[in-house]
Amino acid sequence: MSKDPTIVAFLCNWCSYTGADLAGTSRMKYNSNIRVIRVMCSGRIGPTFVLKAFREGADGVLICGCHPGDCHYHEGNYKCLRRFHLLQKYVSQLGMDKDRIRLEWISASEGKEFAELVNNFSNKIKEIGKSKVRKTMEEWT
Amino acid sequence: MEEKRIGVYVCWCGTNIAMMVDVKDVSKEMEKLPGVVLAKNYKYMCSDPGQDMIIKDIKKYNLDRIVVAACSPRIHEITFRNALENAGLNPYMLQMANISEQDSWVHTDRIEATRKAKSLVAAAIRRVIHHKPLKKRIVNVHPNTLIIGGGVAGMSAALELSEAGKKSFLIEKSDQLGGTAAKLKLSFPYLNDVVNDISNLIKRVEKSEHIQVILNAEVQEIHGFIGNFNGIVKTTDEKEYSIEFGNTIVATGLKSFDAGKLKNYGYWKYSEVITSIEFELLVKQGVVVNKKGIVPENIAIIHCAGSRNENYNNYCSRTCCMSALKYANQLRNLLPDANIFEMYADMRTFGRGCEELYTSTSRKGIMFLMFDQRAELPLIKEDERGNGVVIEFKELLSGEEIQVPADLVILMVGMEAHENAKSVSHLSGISMDSNGFFIEKHPKLDPVATTTDGVYVVGSCQAPKDIPDSVSQAKAAVARILATILRGTVEVEVTTAEINADICCGCQFCISVCPYGANSFDAANDVSVVNEVLCKGCGTCATACPSGAISTKHFTDEQILSQIEGLMAKVHELEELETN
Amino acid sequence: MGGLTMNTRVNPDFEKELQKYGKGNWNECFHCGNCTAICPLSEDGFLFPRNSIRTLQMGLEKKLETSIEPWLCYYCGDCSETCPRDANPGELMMALRRYLTTRYDWTGLSKKFYTSAVWEYAAIAIIALLVIVSFLVFLPLRPDAALMVNESGGVMINSLVAGVSPDRFVTLIEYGDWLMAVIVGGLLITNIFNMYYKTIIADKTVKIPLSAYFKEFWQLIYNFVTQASFSKCEKRSYWLGHLLLMTGYTIMFIIVVVFLPYFQIEEVVPVWHWQRLLGYYATFGILFFLGIVIFQRLRKNPITMKFSHASDWIFIIMLALTTLTGIILHIFRLAGMVEATYYTYIIHLAVLVPMIVIEVPFSKWSHLAYRPFAIYFSKLKLATLKEKSVRKLAPAIS
Amino acid sequence: MDATKNNKSKLKLAIYWGAACGGCCVSVLDVHEHLYDIVAAADLVFWPIALDTKYKDVEAMEDDFIDITLFNGAVRNSENEHMAHLLRQKSKILVAYGSCAHLGGIPGLANLSDKKELFNRVYLESESTMNSEQIFPQTKTEVKEGILELPEFYNDVRALNQVTDVDFYIPGCPPTSDRLLEVFTAIVSGSELPPKGSVIGAQMKPLCDECERKKSDKKQVKKFLRPWEVIDDGETCFIEQGLICLGPATRAGCGYRCIKGNAPCRGCYGPTPDIIDPGAKMMSAIATAIDSNDPDEILEIIDSIEDPAGTFYRVSVPAALFRKKIVENNVEVKIT
């Protein structure tokens, strides 16, 4: 199913990665096209990682952090939120559909929500189509 | 770049992984990747033989980096780090790929799951190439402890430390010790008199030579880190204390829910309506009358005032049901002929002796009426037929719209975080949840520590609690503190931020970004510096640093970027393989 | 909340009031729902008998007064047996039936009888005395009574009274029967109408189409005759016994009230004659079941017999006495014991009349009428509710 | 360089002007009288702005004939590309000189549009154009006299290292003459050259290191302002005044000339070492400085950043991870 879009997800260690683990221990099923990278806090996630993921061929990037107010490091998730909005504005300027980047809050107990999110997001990406970023950047015309 | 010698280990986890991921295929593929010396698969990597295999291989093949593809690093990262350490390798030369919780268990297509596993392991291999050995760091611990809040929790902690002969500063905002518990007459479920208990506790605190009580005081500043804090405490009469301490216990307690917010209950309007706090005062005085001075005949006790309701506080305040039952008993004794109505949303009577109290109370001629929290709250209005008020609502068990006459209504007001919580959270560097309660380090396994080392939360400032829970938490925190004091040293976070002074230009973006105040500006050298003891390694500053001067150990840009590359390279490789 | 009326006000004292009608620890109920789960009559979403217990706990008397449910319950006792708190929901239904009987009765006498045994004893005594006095004064034993024996040796019962011909005597007694039936029936019918008013008319949530009254009418007859709902309870033998009693009792009632001239005749018919066979069946049916019930009530076992209200004993005793005096009368008559027959006849009537006058409209007997009507009414309600497709709110029968 | 040193003859220097404004060439002249020193030490063998050397003359040179080529300007068309390859072949050292050659420069902003959009804008839609016949430049045009040729206009602009192998980078728009002189002197004096790929004439540290404006840790912004919206106090860090200044993410070395002129840094000296995307770090820093946790307010504040791509990648679009416009199926592209 290589035609399926590839999603790179950045999950914070304390809430979202744990939530994703919970989806696993609860044996919930979701789309297999997601590849997770663990960071300690969503505050660690910056535009470089996201742009890099697209540049390497990702079709969608999912960023998950703790719910507002629940950040393990106080406000890292808010910092992520601010960067996320600016990044969306930037990528739209370059012609990329900004919905290819999604930020959601997933708590450690939200295994089900995580599984639903992955399916929902990958459907959204399917709808948008495969990303042309990698191909476009490798083309010299 | 010197040659990397990577060992890759793919775990079967019995059949947990192996049934959905072709582990042999994964390890075979990984062997081909640059830097990989060997790739093995084994039934249970976390078992002793599994770990021994890694240890032997490290020695035999002179491996310098290890990738374990198994379960979540949140489960076994520590296990394998220890294995590396046992083999004489730095524990941080490990990277795990989660092919269980985030692969085999959540997917149904074996081919897809195997493909995903390959990509995750390949990413881990790329990442581990950039891992660097990290050194443990150890600091000394000052034996004094700062305790903020002189309620039951704070006092219990102080006394426990005093037992061990350790000094504590007990800072109380008001002019007396005792906190909320000092306002109570009886305690549930055994209806014991707490007045004496609390005053004895206060006496013991005041007598102790190891406890320095500072009343009418607030903490102004806290600096430093575990083992090495210093702070300034200021009293209302402007006296200032500069103190040094190794650990902090936050026990700032609670604030009662403001009953006036509940429009339906008309707290300000009807003299019949009082709060549970006011009722405690009445029973302490031994006279139960409403604000008109009339001895009530019909008494309604309304549970969940401001709790478990999406318009107010979503959470349960835990103690109100039991207190309400306690009141019913007190009222039955004081006013044997009165009609008593318990109006509850759900009766929550867990804990020893609590269900028993409910059972015995239910046999005392008390009418229990259930209302629906999700619907509109009961409405209190003037009784057209009598002197008092009447409470109108839909009784949930019967589905009947009913009226309850009352000339005394007791609102069981819930607990809220203390209004000082926010400033205390900033002072001590601990997190607050959306309700303003302090967040513990781990909800199950580390419920008294916080994410700031050396700072503990006890009592109702962490979540609504009853007295025994507060006391247990206080004593648990003291046990943790004493352990560090007795050892004299503590280990501190390794995966901290570090600033490359050759690049840092002193723009100071990183200073306010840090929730722990770990970054500061060194004006003499015109660069920012990280206090690695304070730093928790979240990496927010590294991402905020515009020049790339800051990196987060073990989560460097290089490591994450190569992980992305590895992840995607495998995706493309497989994709191309398929299209050809 | 706008529609609240004074009826919806809780009354903590009502439970004490209801204790006069039956003994239950109803405040013990914490609404686990076991009773509803085990009750063969409860249906999806309908909290039977838990709903009634809840309404009682809150003291919503108006609500209770308008409920049909208690009549649908046949007191199999399953609920009381499974109740983890010994709240005795079955006994509550029983108490509610007694309470409702007093609520339907407009004379207020029923309440007096149910809440005070003295009142009931007094009423019975007065009527019995009236019967005895009437006979002794107006229908005294004729002087030559000893001659009033027919060829087969049986006493000619209609000829025992002085100054009245046998035909006239029967007619006189029949008139008495009819008078009694009219009074008692009139009271009962008005009470049933009262029940109809409270349970149907006052319930503004249902509007019953006229056709339903005809369509469901068979239910009334069918349930009266078979007591089919009773058979839903697990202990079917009990239903059989009760059916035996009810049929025996009804047969006797019909014979005595409607067919007296064919029944109370001078000659003693042969044993296989329908008249005697019916009489023996009725006697056996009544005595058999009464025997069981008395035995059980004395043993206070099963649970349904644990608590006996004064009205229960009075009804049993009166019925037993009526039957026994009837048997004795029959024996005396067959034996040709003239005087004994005459006096036993008076005693028989002195028991029978007050029993019917008191029990039928005011006390326990009335359930014979209320139950089938309750089923009929609930079917009517159900019919409308079905139309409204809100069946879940319907009473617990189908 | 050893060859150069041993050879008593003078250095052979070439300067080429690709897709650029010409400022870089002027910056060479800005060395003023030091030009004599340069000319004394080196022969200028190719410099289109000053010398009448033809391309075929260059083509005729032996490989590695030129010691140093300063290539300024980005690669926009086939001519630029041809010259890049040619000069690489003929030069011992190829230096990407100035922001355009280094990162794509201001011409690189064209990568936010594609060729078609650019042509439409320039040859059809611009206010001063009347082109009813819709004539666009062609690589070959037949006229009576024969065939006229024009270089092919590429779809995207490239930095020099995206076309050919580059030895060193001298950043700046334009590079300061002082730095040029320093570099030149170093080369002539034969001192050891830095490793290949180095950015020379600039520092490791960002501009803030030299900038003398007062800086504090109060980098929290409620609204981003454009220079004309602020009365600059002349001494406080621009960012703390709500202006976006790329100083913290840009190599020092320019002598903070813009800031001395009370203009925020535009990033022409390029990002600090080891940065894989020139604008992303600053974008991240600026977003982090937004003083709000409310999603709506955050969006509102971000709205005040008129043109993120043009702001954070003013001279570096072609060197970014997203180096040019992406055409998605359903996305309407706004050209800013």
Q: Which residues from D are below 8 Å from A79, CB to CB?
A: 287-288
Contact state of A85 with D112 under an 8 Å Cβ cutoff: no
- Are B50 and B159 members of one domain? no
**Domain parsing of chain C, residue ranges:** 6-104, 109-376
- Are B246 and B266 members of one domain? no
pLDDT at residue B386, rounded to an integer: 77
Binning pLDDT at 50, 70 and 90, where does residue D3 land? very low
Q: Which residues from B are below 8 Å from C31, CB to CB?
A: 397
What does each of the 398 residues of chain C score in pLDDT, given as a tens digit?
333 444 589 998 898 899 999 988 888 888 888 888 888 777 654 567 888 888 999 999 888 888 888 898 888 888 999 999 889 999 999 999 999 999 999 999 999 999 998 999 999 999 999 999 999 998 999 888 888 888 888 898 888 898 888 889 999 998 988 999 899 999 999 999 999 999 888 877 778 888 888 888 888 888 888 888 787 776 778 888 888 998 998 888 888 888 888 888 888 888 888 888 998 999 999 999 999 999 999 998 888 888 889 889 999 999 999 999 999 999 999 999 999 999 999 999 999 999 999 988 898 888 888 999 998 988 888 777 666 544 444 444 33
Residue with tokens 């022409």: D268
Chains D and C are in contact, defined as 3 or more C-beta pairs closer than 8 angstroms: no
Q: Report which of B246, B223, B222 is spatially closest to residue B234, judged by C-alpha positions.
A: B222
Instruction: For residue B550, give the chain D residue with the closest CA.
Output: D281
Q: Which residues from B are below 8 Å from A75, CB to CB?
A: 515
DSSP letter for each residue of C52-99: HHHHHHHT-HHHHHT--HHHH-----HHHHH-TT---HHHHHHHHHHH
B206: left (phi over 0), alpha (psi -120 to 50) or beta: alpha
Domains in chain D, please, with CATH? 2-107+155-189 (3.40.50.700), 114-154 (no CATH), 207-305 (no CATH)
Residue with tokens 């644990």: C306
Distance of CA C166 to the CA centre of its chain: 33
Distance of CA B524 to the CA centre of its chain: 39
Residue B478 belongs to domain spanning: 145-253+418-490
Out of B365, B367, B397, closest to residue C10 by CB: B367
Distance of CA B354 to the CA centre of its chain: 26
Contact state of B540 with A41 under an 8 Å Cβ cutoff: yes
Binning pLDDT at 50, 70 and 90, where does residue D8 land? low
Instruction: For residue B561, give the chain D residue with the closest CA.
Output: D276
pLDDT digits (tens, 9 = 90+) for B286-320: 889 988 889 999 999 999 999 999 999 999 999 99
* pLDDT greater at residue C152 or residue B560: B560
Query: How many C-alpha atoms does C261 have within 13 Å on its Cβ side?
Result: 8
Token representation of residue B152: 């039951």
Q: Report which of B579, B566, B575 is spatially closest to residue B123, judged by C-alpha positions.
A: B566
- Are B486 and B502 members of one domain? no
Classify residue B311: in a domain, yes or no: yes
- Alpha-carbon span B576 to C73, nearest angstrom: 76
Indicate the pairing of strand B65-70 with strand B94-98.
parallel
- Are B64 and B118 members of one domain? yes
Arch. (CATH architecture) of C6-104: Orthogonal Bundle (1.10)
Q: What Rg value do the Cα atoms of chain B yield, rounded?
A: 30
- Alpha-carbon span C200 to C8, nearest angstrom: 19
* pLDDT greater at residue D189 or residue B284: B284
pLDDT at residue A107, rounded to an integer: 86
Q: Which residues from C are below 8 Å from B379, CB to CB?
A: 1
- Are B240 and B372 members of one domain? no
- Are B263 and B410 members of one domain? yes
* Domain boundary, last residue among B490, B516, B537: B490
Please give the interface size between A and B, counted as residue pairs whose CB atoms are below 8 Å apart: 147
Characterize A107-125 residue by residue with b for buried, 16 or more Cβ atoms within 10 angstroms of its Cβ, and e for exposed. bbebbebbbebbeebbebb
Classify residue B169: in a domain, yes or no: yes
pLDDT of B467 > 50? The answer is yes
What's the rounded mean pLDDT across residues B245-261?
96
Classify residue B577: in a domain, yes or no: no
Residues 6+ apart with CB under 8 A from C364: C98, C311, C312, C314, C315
CATH code, domain with A92: 3.40.50
ipTM: 0.60
Q: Which residues from B are below 8 Å from C57, CB to CB?
A: 367-368
Binning pLDDT at 50, 70 and 90, where does residue B492 land? confident
Classify residue B1: in a domain, yes or no: no
List, in sequence order, the alpha helices (H) in chain D: 2-6, 23-29, 34-41, 55-60, 78-90, 99-103, 115-119, 177-189, 257-260, 280-288, 295-303, 308-312
Classify residue B291: in a domain, yes or no: yes
Chains C and B are in contact, defined as 3 or more C-beta pairs closer than 8 angstroms: yes
Q: Which residues from B are below 8 Å from D220, CB to CB?
A: 512
Cis-peptide into C49, omega within 30 deg: yes
Residue A39 belongs to domain spanning: 7-138
Classify residue B562: in a domain, yes or no: no
pLDDT of A89 > 70? The answer is yes
Q: What Rg value do the Cα atoms of chain A yield, rounded?
A: 15
Q: Which residues from D are below 8 Å from B548, CB to CB?
A: 271-275, 281
- Using the Cβ of D277 and the Cβ atoms of chain A, whether some distance falls under 8 Å is answered with yes
CATH code, domain with B465: 3.50.50.60
- Are B277 and B399 members of one domain? yes
Contact state of B564 with A49 under an 8 Å Cβ cutoff: yes
Q: How far is A29 from chain D (nearest CA, A)?
A: 30
β-bridge mates for residue B507, sequence order:
none
Q: Which residues from A are below 8 Å from B571, CB to CB?
A: 6, 35, 57
pLDDT at residue C43, rounded to an integer: 67
What is the side-by-side strand order in the sheet with B217-225?
Answer: B217-225, B228-235, B240-245
Identity of the amino acid at C306 = K
Q: How far is C359 from chain B (nearest CA, A)?
A: 34
D19 close to D77: Cβ distance less than 8 angstroms: yes
Number of domains in chain B: 4
Query: How many C-alpha atoms does B332 have within 13 Å on its Cβ side?
Result: 17
Instruction: For residue C55, give the chain B residue with the closest CA.
Output: B398
Q: Encode A35-86 in three state secondary structure.
A: EEEEECCHHHCCHHHHHHHHHCCCCEEEEEECCCCCECCECHHHHHHHHHHH
Mean pLDDT of the residues in chain D: 90
Contact state of B72 with A21 under an 8 Å Cβ cutoff: yes
Residues 6+ apart with CB under 8 A from C49: C35, C36, C39, C42, C69, C73, C79, C89, C90, C92, C93
Out of D298, D321, D330, closest to residue A55 by CB: D321
Classify residue B242: in a domain, yes or no: yes
pLDDT digits (tens, 9 = 90+) for B345-389: 999 999 999 999 999 998 898 999 999 988 889 999 999 887 899
Classify residue B123: in a domain, yes or no: yes
Dihedral sign for Cα atoms in the order B272, B274, B280, B281: negative
Chains interfacing with B (3 or more CB pairs < 8 Å): A, C, D
* Residues on C contacting B at a C-beta cutoff of 8 Å: 1, 3-4, 6, 8-10, 12, 27-28, 30-31, 51, 54-55, 57-60, 63
Q: How far is C59 from chain B (nearest CA, A)?
A: 10
Classify residue A1: in a domain, yes or no: no
Contact state of C3 with B367 under an 8 Å Cβ cutoff: no
Chains A and B are in contact, defined as 3 or more C-beta pairs closer than 8 angstroms: yes
B391 close to B378: Cβ distance less than 8 angstroms: yes
pLDDT at residue B142, rounded to an integer: 96
CATH code, domain with B534: 3.30.70.20
pLDDT at residue B577, rounded to an integer: 66
Chains D and B are in contact, defined as 3 or more C-beta pairs closer than 8 angstroms: yes
- Using the Cβ of A73 and the Cβ atoms of chain D, whether some distance falls under 8 Å is answered with no
Q: Choose, out of C28, C58, C64, C69, the residue to mutate when testing the contact with B (most B CBs < 10 Å).
A: C58
Q: Which residues from B are below 8 Å from A22, CB to CB?
A: 101
Helix (H) or strand (E) segment spanning residue C276: helix C274-299
Contact state of C54 with B365 under an 8 Å Cβ cutoff: no
Contact state of B112 with A71 under an 8 Å Cβ cutoff: no
Q: How far is B283 from chain C (nearest CA, A)?
A: 24
Q: How is residue B100 annotated by DSSP?
A: I
pLDDT at residue A1, rounded to an integer: 39
Number of domains in chain A: 1
- Alpha-carbon span B286 to A63, nearest angstrom: 59
pLDDT at residue B420, rounded to an integer: 86
Instruction: For residue B495, give the chain A residue with the closest CA.
Output: A40
Binning pLDDT at 50, 70 and 90, where does residue D30 land? confident
Degrees to nearest 5, angle at CA A76 with A72 and A80: 135
pLDDT at residue D328, rounded to an integer: 80
- Alpha-carbon span D154 to D81, nearest angstrom: 10
- Are B206 and B218 members of one domain? yes
- Alpha-carbon span A52 to A30, nearest angstrom: 25
CA distances from B574 to B29, B570, D315 (A): 11, 6, 37
